[in-house]
Amino acid sequence: MNAGTQAAPLPRRVAARPRAGLAAALLHRLSGIALALFLPMHFIALGTALQGADRLESFLGLTHNGFVRTAEWGLVSALALHLVLGLRVLAIEWFATRERTALMVSLCVAAALAVGLLFLLGGA
């Protein structure tokens, strides 16, 4: 290299930040795990229904405390989140589009929270 020429500056490294696609994949998997953890309770409820209406009513009586209601809200929100993020994955595969990933993930989370809020306001 000549003394009068300078080497091109090296590109600056940008600090690592989470990407929207990674966040969406993580949320999708975590909501799937939450749904899988719910399945045993669902099967227990179905089993008590087979044992008669009185057994089912006594089991459903457990659902009237605050912790279980909060867990139900979390379950409904997780189901909605899993659904909309799954639809996002299908849209990526079918339409080969990856633009505005952060916006799409934000819309998916907002839709899931809206469904959870409707569940709470519905008095379920």
pLDDT in tens, 60-88: 888 888 888 888 888 999 999 999 989 88
Query: Is 117 within a domain?
Result: yes
Query: Is 12 within a domain?
Result: no
Query: Is 82 within a domain?
Result: yes
Domain that holds residue 84: 21-121
Query: Is 103 within a domain?
Result: yes
Query: Is 116 within a domain?
Result: yes
Query: Is 6 within a domain?
Result: no
Query: Quick one: tokens of 49?
Result: 């229904």
Give the number of domains in the chain.
1
pLDDT in tens, 90-113: 888 887 766 677 788 888 889 998
The domain that holds 83 is classified in CATH as: 1.20.1300.10
